[in-house]
Structure 1
Amino acid sequence: MATTAPVSAGTDAYIGEVMLVGFNFCPRSSASADGQLLAISSNTALFSLLGTIYGGDGRTTFALPDLRGRAAISEGQGPGLSSYRIGERGGQERTTLTIAQMPSHNHTGQVRAESSVIADTGNPAGNAIARSTQLIYSDAAAPTAAGAFHPDTLVINNNGGGQSSNNMQPYLAMRYCVVTQGIFPSRS
């Protein structure tokens, strides 16, 4: 059965309660959780609950939580998790990893190892690495000494472009509203 009654947070909602709605406005008796400043003089009950946790000067204004582009989590500390205090903000939409943040890993490289090239340790650029126990041959008929690795370090170039990557969980955008008028919540 459809109703034409105006949309309202209702008299059953607690002042300061945050609700999620699937439409693009907040019902009567509520305001958008967008960090807006409210006058203490017009919202004394709500101010007595929120104080300046989310901002404001505490003399004439206080702020509502700003949940735009943010996921809400419970304050406190779960088993094996970090501790969060009410009003704390954190996280970021995008991130660029530094080398220090990367997990330990290996890269593979390719080196040309041939038995038909004379090793030249004085000028190794462009030369092949000799195979471990095989003799190195040249165009001459007599073989040279057994090949050995040149003492230089093999360098594998950096990869990646240094661009940030998306750090967001899958999401569905909706509107958060804070109840401004309703039942004052009891602590017991």
Structure 2
Amino acid sequence: MADQYIGEIIAVGFYYGTGFDNTWAPCDGRVLPIQQYSALFSLIGTAYGGDGTRTFALPNLNGRVAASQGQGPGLTTRSLGEQVGTDQVTLTHDQMPKHNHQIRLGQAGGPNTTPGPGGAGTTAAINPTFNGFVNGPGNVPFAPTAIAFDGGQQPHPNDQPTTGLWYLIALSGIFPNFN
């Protein structure tokens, strides 16, 4: 392999470890001293963190997807070092598509029934043989707990399909010529 450019990022399919050898370092967001890595700092600055006086940070690609800066079709503009997205999402009632649920109820203690959400002793029960779209067995009062909400407003994972790789950044090498 030819000499790498300072700041070049590569993906490797082998375990690199958590240390570094002054040639490559994992893209794990670690903070480095500017004085020791001044050439790399002159290229990436504090785009990924650090105080800009004594320290700067490497990009953190742990659990993240790399994306180009700029704006793609239908996307908002992305700046160098900007982190977007979230690991988990909680859907609210307003975000769910409008839909219907079938209801199959019968009188508690009736044939083929099991206690409904209100538990044993309630006046409504789940009856899979009862067709709720025809006239039912008269007016039966429901317990306040006969209909329950579902979901509980808990977050769910928001991961896209991925393959784990190590991303490394070159700490030393050829300084890029932008002319």
TM-score (norm. length: structure 1): 0.67
Q: Take 2:53 and 2:165, find their aligned partners in 1: how far apart are those partners?
A: 32
Is residue 2:71 matched to residue 1:77?
yes
Q: 2:141 aligns with which of 122, 126, 132?
A: 126
Change in 2 beyond 3 A, CA 1:116/1:125: closer
Matched residue, 1:140: none
Aligned Cα RMSD in Å?
2.6
- What SS is found at the alignment partner of 2:35? helix
Matched residue, 2:108: none
Q: CA deviation at 1:19?
A: 0.8
Q: 2:25 aligns with which of 19, 31, 43?
A: 31
- What SS is found at the alignment partner of 1:19? strand
Q: Take 1:23 and 1:116, find their aligned partners in 2: how far apart are those partners?
A: 67
Matched residue, 1:177: 168
Matched residue, 1:159: 150
Matched residue, 2:6: 15
The residue type paired with residue 12 of structure 2 is V
Indicate the structure (1 or 2) with the bigger Cα radius of gyration. 1
Q: Which structure 2 segments of 5+ residues have no match?
A: 104-131
Q: CA deviation at 1:160?
A: 2.3
Q: Take 2:53 and 2:3, find their aligned partners in 1: how far apart are those partners?
A: 29
The residue type paired with residue 135 of structure 2 is E
Matched residue, 2:129: none
Matched residue, 2:126: none
Q: Which structure 1 segments of 5+ residues have no match?
A: 1-9, 118-123, 128-154
Q: CA deviation at 1:163?
A: 2.7
Identity of aligned residues (%): 43
Q: Take 2:11 and 2:157, find their aligned partners in 1: how far apart are those partners?
A: 25
Q: Take 1:173 and 1:181, find their aligned partners in 2: how far apart are those partners?
A: 25
Matched residue, 2:135: 114
Q: Take 1:116 and 1:54, find their aligned partners in 2: how far apart are those partners?
A: 67
CA contact (8 A) 1:11 1:183 kept: no
Q: Take 1:65 and 1:169, find their aligned partners in 2: how far apart are those partners?
A: 20
Number of residue pairs the alignment of both structures matches: 145
- What SS is found at the alignment partner of 2:51? coil
TM-score (norm. length: structure 2): 0.70
CA contact (8 A) 1:109 1:156 kept: no
